[in-house]
């Protein structure tokens, strides 16, 4: 069974440029999460989707971050414009449904903003 | 609200020895789970072990076991017979109300 797929694995951009990350969850998993992981710290939730609905986006900085999961399967997280402080690893995770307690993580996208 | 605290930024152990990683948590949820995740360098987060808070028996997965002290809100991870492949960042996490909250992590080094 394929795991959570993320692309790209690495991205280097200049500040003020836009950037997008893509995630494909495990097949059949209805719940999808985006996390931000700063260097040396634990992941922090940005947004949670149940199918195509964003049910928890309270920690998403909406002035520059946006996300979508149009068909309830894969998802895109966008930053526009990027700032130096956005340099981090962006993790995607999925779980079977909102009643599932275990989350399965992708390899992450390491973003460097110069 | 949930908080998770890992007070050991780094730990090291000799290969084949036993090491214990500490974690304390706080939660207002009555229904919650606790997890230990492993994150090797530049690799993805892997679930090591989970504990349902309503269960008194400590979870065990092969060489990994936990000491769950609910009243003290403590959840430590013991790794027996440490192997070189155990070297990684270990994160303790609390899950409640569909929200997973992580600690700051402990970097574990295995000395050959």
Stronger pLDDT, B16 or B1, i.e. the higher one: B16
Say yes or no for a CB contact (<8 Å) between A43 and B105: no
With an 8 Å Cβ cutoff, is A48 touching chain B? yes
B80, two tokens: 């027996």
Query: Which residue, among B49, B100, B103, B104, would best test binding to A if mutated, counting the most A CBs under 10 Å from its CB?
Result: B100
Residue-level pLDDT at B75: 97
Condensed to tens digits (0 to 9), the pLDDT of residues B7-61 reads 999 999 999 999 999 999 999 999 999 999 999 987 789 999 999 999 989 999 9
Q: Which positions ≥6 away from B54 have C-beta within 8 Å?
A: B31
| Residue B94 · residue B25 · CB < 8 Å | yes
CB proximity A53 to B under 8 Å: no
Cβ separation B104–A41 shorter than 8 A: yes
Helix, coil or strand: residue A34 = strand
| Mean pLDDT value of segment A95-107 | 87
CATH code of the region B2-111: 2.60.40.10
Is A91's Cβ below 8 Å from some Cβ in B? yes
Examine the pLDDT at A71 and tell me if it is beyond 80: yes
In sequence order, which residues have a C-beta less than 8 Å from that of residue B63 and are 6 or more positions away? B79, B80, B81, B83
From the list B44, B50, B98, the residue facing A105 with the nearest CB is B44
Annotated domain spans of chain B:
2-111
pLDDT at A1 (0 to 100): 66
> Residue B107: pLDDT above 90?
yes
Kindly list the distances between the CA atom of residue A54 and the CA atoms of A36, B41, B47, in Å, as whole numbers in the listed order.
17, 31, 25
The arithmetic mean of pLDDT across residues A72-98, rounded, is 94
Q: Does domain A5-113 have CATH number 2.60.40.10?
A: yes
Between the alpha carbon of residue B110 and those of residues A53, A111, B44, B48, B87, the distances in Å are 43, 29, 19, 17, 6
Contact A90, A22 (CB under 8 A): no
Q: Cβ B99–A56 below 8 Å, yes or no?
A: yes
CA distance B45 to chain A (A): 6
Q: What are residue A84's phi and psi, to 5 degrees?
A: -55, -35
pLDDT tens-digit profile of A5-27? 999 999 999 999 999 999 999 99
DSSP symbols for B53-98 = TT--SPPEETTEEEEEETTTTEEEEEE-S--GGG-EEEEEEEEETT
Gap between the Cα atoms of A32 and A54, Å rounded? 9
Residues of chain A neighbouring B49 (CB-CB closer than 8 A):
none
């Amino acid at each position: 069974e394929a795991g959570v797929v993320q692309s790209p694995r690495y991205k280097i951009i200049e500040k003020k440029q836009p950037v997008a990350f893509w995630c494909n969850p495990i097949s059949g998993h209805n719940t999808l999460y985006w996390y931000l992981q700063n260097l040396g710290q634990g992941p922090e939730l940005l947004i949670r989707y149940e199918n195509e609905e964003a049910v928890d986006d309270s920690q998403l900085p909406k002035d520059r971050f946006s996300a979508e999961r149009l068909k309830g399967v894969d998802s895109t997280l966008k930053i526009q414009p990027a700032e130096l402080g956005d340099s981090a690893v962006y993790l995607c995770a999925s779980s079977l449904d909102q009643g599932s307690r275990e989350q399965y993580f992708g390899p992450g996208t390491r973003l460097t903003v110069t | 609200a949930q908080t998770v605290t890992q007070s050991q930024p780094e730990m090291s152990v000799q290969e084949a020895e036993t090491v214990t990683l500490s974690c304390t948590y706080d939660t207002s949820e009555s229904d919650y789970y606790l997890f230990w995740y492993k994150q090797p360098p530049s690799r993805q987060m892997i679930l090591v072990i989970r504990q349902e808070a309503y269960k008194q028996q400590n979870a065990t997965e092969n060489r990994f076991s936990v000491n769950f002290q609910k009243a003290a809100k403590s959840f430590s991870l013991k790794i027996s017979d440490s192997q070189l492949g155990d070297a990684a960042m270990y994160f303790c996490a609390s899950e409640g109300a569909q929200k997973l909250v992580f600690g700051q992590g402990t970097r574990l080094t295995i000395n050959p």
